[in-house]
């Protein structure tokens, strides 16, 4: 005799019992881990290391709270913060909310909660710069809650952070920089030709422009044809905080750009294109730099940011003043630029030690 069908009510009760509980209840083993920050996955917290405090076990849902949404809107509209800053701050907030096991709400978080979060981040091996960036986002968030949301005080005001370590930047020698920028047009094709026929000219223009101007990776990728002023040998750049600056461009870089534009027929829109004739991505630029480094004699791991370091150090080594280098790099504070003086002094001491008879 066939069994009687279950009632719809019984079926719903069984389904509800099997489902994981929501943000207010404990998570179960069947609950898939939420995305970091509730946004598309993107490691943007630190460009050199890619560190990000991924939650080990999700405690709450990853959707931003109303306070987070209001804060990010404040940064975007009133502070005019860059898109990358918004992504970084969003990751920092969601990292604590989903990664700290005792989180209930932002208003109830205590200084001990944030000391515990600091311990968790250090235990995971995140470098000090990444930790300080996350806590800068959290401090700004609580400052917003105090001034705009009526919170009595920030729980972070009594939390001590590890001191920032500022290792000397790795830079290329002048000979290594010359070798790198000439590789795209001198090397034979590597393997099957899958790239655009004008890829060599484009790559040469990218490397020349990095070394000629000290641009950040994101600044170079976002360049349009209209940003280049060939007559005045300058380009207009939108840097951090959406601040515009004008950078001089050397003759070799300008000629490389003109050669690339002529061969690739780039007359308007994005300056540097992929083989699909779309704006080239940050990742593609990183990949092309790695490709040329593999085929060079340079024994260093160099990122686009290291080319920026080389640009600044070579200027100072050849007599440029620190204030001018600050303007060229687009640094808001002179203290950020001063690290390059240490590199210049170190090299000067090395030359002295190897050259002076009574060193």
Is 142 a catalytic site residue?
no
CA dist., res. 291 & res. 289, Å (int): 5
For residue 35, the Cα-to-chain-centroid distance in whole angstroms is: 19
Is 216 a catalytic site residue?
yes
Is 134 a catalytic site residue?
no
Q: Which two tokens mark 232?
A: 């005045």
Cα pseudo-dihedral 280, 227, 177, 301, rounded to 10: -40
Among the listed residues 39, 240, 259, 291, the single catalytic one is: 240
Among the listed residues 42, 139, 143, 305, the single catalytic one is: 305
Strands 244-248 and 228-229: unpaired
Among the listed residues 218, 308, 309, 314, the single catalytic one is: 308
CA dist., res. 198 & res. 260, Å (int): 7
Is 218 a catalytic site residue?
no
Is 240 a catalytic site residue?
yes
Is 331 a catalytic site residue?
yes
CA dist., res. 117 & res. 93, Å (int): 12
Among the listed residues 91, 134, 216, 306, the single catalytic one is: 216
Among the listed residues 340, 342, 347, 358, the single catalytic one is: 340
CA dist., res. 287 & res. 308, Å (int): 17
Which run of H or E residues covers position 234?
A: strand 234-238
Q: Which two tokens mark 195?
A: 């790239």
Residues noted as catalytic? 216, 240, 305, 308, 331, 340
């Amino acid at each position: 005799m066939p069994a009687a069908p279950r009632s719809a009510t019984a079926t719903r009760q069984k389904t509800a019992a099997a489902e994981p509980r929501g943000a207010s209840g404990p998570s179960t083993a069947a609950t898939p881990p939420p995305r970091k920050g509730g946004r598309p996955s993107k490691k943007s917290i630190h460009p050199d290391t890619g560190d990000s405090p991924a939650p080990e076990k999700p405690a709450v849902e990853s959707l931003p709270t109303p306070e987070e949404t209001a804060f990010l809107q404040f940064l975007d509209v009133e502070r005019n913060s860059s898109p990358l800053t918004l992504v970084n701050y969003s990751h920092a907030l969601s990292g604590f909310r989903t990664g700290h096991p005792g989180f209930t709400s932002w208003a109830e978080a205590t200084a001990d909660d944030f000391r515990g979060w600091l311990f968790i981040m250090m235990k995971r091996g995140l470098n000090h710069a990444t930790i300080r960036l996350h806590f800068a986002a959290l401090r700004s968030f609580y400052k917003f809650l105090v001034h705009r949301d009526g919170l009595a005080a920030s729980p972070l005001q009594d939390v001590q952070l590890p001191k920032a370590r500022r290792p000397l930047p790795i830079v290329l020698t002048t000979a290594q920089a010359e070798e790198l920028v000439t590789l795209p047009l001198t090397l034979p094709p590597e393997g099957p030709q899958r790239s655009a026929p004008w890829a060599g000219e484009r790559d040469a223009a990218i490397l020349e422009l990095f070394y000629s101007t000290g641009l950040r990776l994101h600044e170079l990728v976002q360049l349009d044809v209209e940003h280049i002023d060939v007559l005045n040998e300058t380009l207009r750049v939108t840097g951090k905080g959406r601040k515009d600056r004008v950078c001089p461009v050397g003759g070799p870089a300008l000629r490389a750009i003109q050669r690339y534009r002529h061969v690739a027929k780039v007359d308007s829109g994005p300056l540097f294109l992929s083989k699909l004739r779309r704006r080239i991505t940050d990742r593609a630029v990183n990949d092309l730099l790695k490709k040329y480094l593999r085929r060079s004699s340079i024994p260093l791991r160099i990122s686009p940011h290291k080319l920026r370091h080389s640009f600044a150090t070579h200027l100072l080594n050849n007599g440029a003043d620190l204030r001018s280098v600050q303007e060229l790099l687009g640094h808001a504070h002179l203290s950020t630029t001063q690290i390059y003086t240490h590199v210049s002094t170190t090299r000067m001491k090395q030359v002295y030690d190897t050259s002076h008879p009574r060193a």
